[in-house]
Amino acid sequence: MTISRRKLVKGAVLGAGLVGLRSLATGLPKSWFLGERVAHAADLAPQFLILATSGNGDPLNANAPGSFVKGAQNSPLPELAAEAVSFGGKSFQAAKCWGALPAELRARTAFFHHRTYTNAHPEHRKVMALQGAAKSASGNGQEMLPSLLASELAKTLGTIQTEPIPLGNELITFEGRALDNIDPTGLKSLFDQPDDLLTGLTNLRDKEIDALYGDLRTNGTRMQREFLDRYALGREQVRKLGEDLAQLLTRLPVDPTDRDSPIDQVIAAVALIKLKVAPVVTLHLPFGGDNHNDSDLTVEAQDTVTSIGTLNTLWTELTTQGLQDQVTFASLNVFGRTLKRNAGGGRNHNQNHHVMTLFGKHVQGGVIGGVDLVDQDYGATGIDSKTGKADPSGDITPLSSLESAGKTLAAALQVPNDRIEARINGGKVVAAALA
């Protein structure tokens, strides 16, 4: 939905009013200004998350490393032909187009084979809550995985708001409340006239930093002073931050005939993270969609090639902004597709197989789990949590693989283990997926 500039400023960027502006101007966490300074003295390094999600049930799983097994009907089109592609220093059979990703990105890209336990589109909301395994902070109710992770990451990341920001069309809830979807075009309107928000940041920064140093000289500890020195932005950094963000969003829409495209969403997501607005941003990347009737798999091939190109763009945007070691990417859709084609040539829903694709600083590139014959098609197998290899008798059963994927993503984001166990029931972290 398109939102007004005023609503975006008040509802997102200025989340806590003047506190939000002070955080933005200085580079210090919002909670610093709310009296929680000691909590930030520790050298914590959590990750931001960009999560691609879809209620369509895309056939990404049909072309991912680990899905090229005997009997599977992978795409016959040249773009998706089987080819040896390296991830994490090991070679896997995958659709040829995955090799278009740069080697440094493939070194930290993993493919987690798991199940979502549903083949119905309306169940997207339940899958995002890990079929009830993802719990609220109190442990009494359910929470969607992106919102669970956002609530665990926001404080140490020092973001202006705790809630995720959904850029795609999929419904995201936070503490049971539906969040407004923000389109990139609406986000751009915030920076159409940068003077409204950014011109005063340098002056505000100087005022706040002077006051903070004065207070810490009298009342602060050495650790707090060191933290201030490490994280406070300088005047030129504040000015450059505003200029860089305005420049990022000036490019939108990249294609005037395709406004709010996946590329636009990627650019907006990086801008929001650069601005430290939210710990989690969700978006939509198509990998073939609901392709029952994709008789020759042309749409599957086109979308897969295009979205792998979009991931390449995301990596370029992150590296350009110096965020490649601070942001983790992951995907979680409602279900995957059958590896065998239907009578019309397309693919049907598959509750037994989905692939979470993820990359980040703390992700070990490679393949987690695998597939085997299930119900006349293929489904995710059990997994050995230590090695990450497919194992029918592994300690991660197929029916706990969704929760395990969620826990492993949380660990890659550097959520403490005790919080992972408190917030996600069942499943296990796959140690082999972590770098």
**Could you tell me the pLDDT band of residue 12, with boundaries at 50, 70 and 90?**
very low
Tell me: the pLDDT tens digits for 378-434?
Answer: 999 999 999 999 999 999 999 999 999 999 999 999 999 999 999 999 999 999 999
Tell which phi-psi region holds residue 17, choosing left (phi > 0), alpha (psi between -120 and 50) or beta.
left
Tens-digit pLDDT profile for residues 91-125: 999 999 999 999 999 999 999 999 999 999 999 99
pLDDT of res. 16: 45
> Is the Cβ–Cβ distance between 197 and 15 less than 8 Å?
no
Give tens-digit pLDDT for 36-64: 544 444 445 899 999 999 999 999 999 99
Which segments of 45-104 are extended strands (E)? Answer: 48-54, 82-87, 90-95
- Tell me the HSE value of 141 on the side-chain side, using a 13 A CA sphere: 11
- Spell out the residues 6+ positions from residue 189 whose beta carbon is closer than 8 angstroms to its own: 4, 5, 8
Cβ contact 205:25 at 8 Å = yes
Q: Is the pLDDT of residue 301 over 50?
A: yes
- Measured from the Cβ of residue 235, the count of other Cβ atoms closer than 10 Å reads 13
For residue 289, what pLDDT is reported? 95
Mean pLDDT throughout 129-143?
92
- In this prediction, residue 17 has a pLDDT band, given cuts at 50, 70 and 90, of very low
User: Model confidence at 233, in pLDDT bands (50, 70, 90)?
Assistant: low
CA 185 to chain centre: 20
- The three-class DSSP label of residue 143 is coil
Dist CA 100 CA 106 (whole Å): 9
356 SS3 class: strand
Residue 88: left if φ>0, alpha if ψ -120 to 50, beta else—which one?
Answer: left
Token pair for 87: 């991830």
pLDDT at residue 13 tops 50: no
pLDDT at 181 over 70: yes
pTM of the model: 0.84
Rounded mean pLDDT of the chain? 86
Higher-confidence residue: 204 or 207? Answer: 207
- Start-end of H helices in 251-324: 262-274, 298-320
Greater pLDDT, 26 or 339: 339
